[in-house]
């Protein structure tokens, strides 16, 4: 059977106009596509430029920046993380493990508070790093939820140790000025009755001999002992008042060339009798023979050395070693270091030890003005004095003084 195909149902062949129309459509499509590609390329270039600008801004931030999940896992960091923790895989680790070397979240964590209350939380933390107390400002700022609906926090960690030290120095200067004002006001009022007490006690002491043979010998001895004690304590009070006056006005002094090594030797010679009484304490000196000279008041600087050596003695009731070191410092300075193997300084009082009248000794054993006097003398010599705990044991006091310009 032969199937007949109807020619009437066949599609008509495309004409030339149809082909030209299709060509124009393709050309328009390609032009539109090309235009869209150019727009995308331009948008991509702008995005790259903006990204570089943002990266420059982020690279210019010297604070540590961390993006944390709500379970404290570090998701993103800036370049500071690699500088602070060079050999640590920070991404994916808990923040308390990286920042605090802990195995559990920190108590009163600002990150948790920021997530819970959805507000910016600031906190000041202190860390002991290589025996140095450092301060960091922590700022936790809540972020929008991620694509999975999980909450995140942006954490900034900024080193404010230098600012804190300047604040402490400023506060110390304010305290010294306040004490100076008080000292100047009360010194005269204290000295007058002290002079009277001492004078009458000396008068009684001269008349004690007239009682010999008239009263019991034991009573005469008691009177002699009591008057001697009164005079001794009056002289002690006079020295305390004299020291207090150093806070109220700069000590008048004549600056001259001072050799710290010689000062250390002179003081150790003077303290020989004190060293003999402290048989379980040894003194070691490591003095730089080429130490530059300084310009200052030798007697005042010797007072600083005496106070710091005796302070080290008092910190080693069970014995130990004091090492006195002199060496050249940076930026044309000279270092004088006192290291002991005593009990060290409690972290909570480390910032207070140079405060006038602050002491950890029992009543009657210390006035609390020895270290503050050192602070005042060193400051008047345009120097600095700092204290820190040694990594192994004990504490160190470092005096930094400028070299003399000859």
Per-residue pLDDT averaged across 85-93, rounded? 84
Q: Does some domain include residue 293?
A: yes
Q: How confident is the model at residue 175 (pLDDT cuts 50, 70, 90)?
A: low
Q: Does some domain include residue 276?
A: yes
Residues 6+ apart with CB under 8 A from 142: 114, 115, 118, 119, 120, 151, 152, 153, 154
Q: pLDDT, tens digit, for every residue of 298-343? A: 878 888 898 888 888 888 877 888 899 999 988 889 999 999 888 8
Choosing from 231, 248, 265, the residue where a domain stops is 248
Distances (CA, A) of 60 to 78, 91, 141, 197, 257: 10, 21, 20, 68, 46
User: Does the structure show a pLDDT above 70 at 184?
Assistant: no
- Does one domain contain both 308 and 232? no
Instruction: State CA 301 to chain mean position distance.
Output: 25
How far apart, in whole angstroms, are the C-alpha atoms of residue 136 and residue 115? 21
HSE (side-chain half, CA atoms, 13 Å) at 163: 7
CATH (domain of 296): 3.30.565.10
- Does one domain contain both 271 and 393? yes
- Does one domain contain both 225 and 336? no
Per-residue pLDDT averaged across 342-355, rounded? 77
Q: Does some domain include residue 6?
A: no
DSSP result, 74-100: EEEE-HHHHHHSTTS--TTSBHHHHHH
Does residue 402 or residue 360 have the better pLDDT?
402
Residue 387 near residue 397, CB atoms below 8 Å: yes
Consecutive H or E run containing 180: helix 161-207
Distances (CA, A) of 143 to 70, 108, 146, 151: 11, 20, 9, 7
Q: How confident is the model at residue 363 (pLDDT cuts 50, 70, 90)?
A: very low
Q: Does some domain include residue 96?
A: yes
Q: Residue for token digits 């936790």?
A: 140
Per-residue pLDDT averaged across 91-109, rounded? 84
Choosing from 197, 221, 248, the residue where a domain stops is 248
Does residue 199 or residue 364 have the better pLDDT?
199
Residue 267 near residue 302, CB atoms below 8 Å: yes
Residues 6+ apart with CB under 8 A from 62: 80, 158
- Does one domain contain both 381 and 266? yes
pLDDT value of position 291: 92
pLDDT value of position 20: 62
Least confident residue range of 110-124, 177-191, 227-241, 299-313: 177-191
Least confident residue range of 48-57, 148-157, 193-202: 48-57
- Does one domain contain both 349 and 385? yes
User: Does the structure show a pLDDT above 70 at 171?
Assistant: no
- The residues pairing with 403 across neighbouring beta strands, listed in sequence order, are 294
Which three-class secondary structure state does DSSP give residue 314? Answer: helix
Q: Does some domain include residue 190?
A: yes
Which three-class secondary structure state does DSSP give residue 318? Answer: coil
Residue 180 near residue 249, CB atoms below 8 Å: yes
Phi and psi dihedrals of 22, rounded to 5?
-60, -40
Say how many domains are in the chain. 3
DSSP-derived letter for residue 330 is: S
- The residues pairing with 286 across neighbouring beta strands, listed in sequence order, are 325
Q: Does some domain include residue 369?
A: yes
Q: Is 62 left (phi over 0), alpha (psi -120 to 50) or beta?
A: alpha
CATH (domain of 97): 3.30.450.20
Does residue 58 or residue 202 have the better pLDDT?
202
What is the percent of the chain with per-residue pLDDT over 70, rounded to a whole number? Answer: 76
pLDDT value of position 2: 47
- Does one domain contain both 373 and 265? yes
Instruction: Give the structural domain span for 172.
Output: 167-248
User: Does the structure show a pLDDT above 80 at 265?
Assistant: yes
Residue 393 near residue 315, CB atoms below 8 Å: no
Q: How confident is the model at residue 398 (pLDDT cuts 50, 70, 90)?
A: very high
């Amino acid at each position: 059977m032969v199937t007949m195909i109807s020619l009437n149902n066949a599609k008509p062949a495309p004409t030339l106009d149809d082909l030209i129309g299709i060509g124009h459509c393709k050309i328009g499509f390609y032009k539109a596509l090309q235009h869209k590609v150019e727009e995308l390329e331009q948008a991509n270039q702008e995005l790259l430029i903006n990204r570089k600008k943002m990266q420059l801004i982020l690279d210019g931030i010297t604070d540590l920046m961390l993006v944390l999940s709500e379970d404290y896992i570090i998701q993103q960091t800036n370049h500071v993380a690699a500088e602070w923790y060079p050999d640590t895989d920070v991404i994916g680790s808990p923040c308390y493990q990286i920042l605090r070397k802990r195995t559990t979240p920190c108590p009163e964590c600002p990150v948790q508070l920021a997530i819970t209350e959805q507000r910016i939380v600031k906190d000041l933390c202190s860390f002991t790093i290589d025996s140095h107390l450092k301060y960091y400002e922590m700022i936790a700022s809540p972020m929008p939820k991620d694509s999975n609906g999980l909450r995140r926090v942006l954490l900034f960690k900024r080193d404010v140790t230098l600012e804190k030290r300047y604040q402490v120095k400023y506060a110390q200067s304010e305290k010294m000025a306040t004490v100076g004002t008080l000292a100047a006001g009360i010194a005269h009022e204290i000295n007058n009755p002290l002079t009277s007490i001492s004078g009458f006690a000396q008068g009684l002491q001269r008349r004690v001999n007239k009682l010999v043979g008239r009263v019991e010998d034991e009573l005469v001895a008691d009177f002699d002992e009591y008057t001697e004690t009164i005079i001794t304590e009056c002289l002690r009070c006079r020295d305390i008042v004299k020291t207090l006056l150093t806070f109220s006005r700069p000590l008048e002094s004549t600056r001259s060339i001072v050799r710290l090594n010689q000062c250390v030797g002179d003081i150790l010679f003077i303290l020989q009798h004190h060293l003999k009484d402290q048989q379980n304490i040894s003194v070691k000196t490591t003095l730089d023979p080429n130490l530059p000279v300084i310009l200052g008041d030798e007697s005042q600087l010797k007072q600083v050395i005496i106070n710091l050596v005796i302070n080290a003695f008092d910190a080693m009731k069970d014995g130990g070693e004091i090492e006195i070191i002199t060496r050249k410092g940076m930026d044309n300075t000279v270092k004088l270091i006192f290291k002991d193997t005593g009990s060290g300084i409690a972290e909570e009082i480390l910032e207070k030890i140079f405060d006038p009248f602050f002491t950890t000794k029992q009543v009657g054993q210390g006035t609390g003005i020895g270290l503050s006097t050192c602070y005042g003398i060193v400051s008047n010599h345009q120097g600095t004095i700092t204290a820190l705990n040694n990594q192994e044991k004990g504490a160190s006091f470092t005096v930094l003084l400028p070299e003399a310009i000859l």
